Amino acid sequence: MIDAGARTVEQVLVDLGINPIEVIVSRNGRLVPDDAVVSGDDEIRIIRIAHGG
């Protein structure tokens, strides 16, 4: 578990070394944009997007 404090999804991803362009994020089971604010009580799921040509 990572204590996100009160930060945006994008800040959490950058802190984890994850490129926000390569993933989608859900908070408590619902998809959220990069500017959504998360806190320590939220359950965050990071889903890597598979793409190709």
pTM: 0.79
Question: Would 33 be classed as within a structural domain?
Answer: yes
Per the structure block, which two tokens stand in for 32? 């959220």
Q: Identify residue 39 by its one-letter amino acid code.
A: S
Angstrom distance (rounded) from CA 22 to CA 3: 22
The CB-side HSE value for 18 (13 A sphere, CA atoms) comes to 17
Number of domains in the chain: 1
pLDDT of residue 30: 96
* Domain CATH code at residue 20: 3.10.20.30
Question: Would 53 be classed as within a structural domain?
Answer: no
Question: Would 21 be classed as within a structural domain?
Answer: yes
pLDDT tens string 5-49: 689 999 999 999 999 999 999 999 999 999 999 988 899 999 998
Question: Would 12 be classed as within a structural domain?
Answer: yes
Please answer whether residues 24 and 31 qualify as being in contact, where contact means their C-beta atoms are separated by less than 8 angstroms.
Answer: yes
Please answer whether residues 34 and 23 qualify as being in contact, where contact means their C-beta atoms are separated by less than 8 angstroms.
Answer: no
Angstrom distance (rounded) from CA 21 to CA 43: 20
The boundaries of the domain holding residue 32 are 7-48
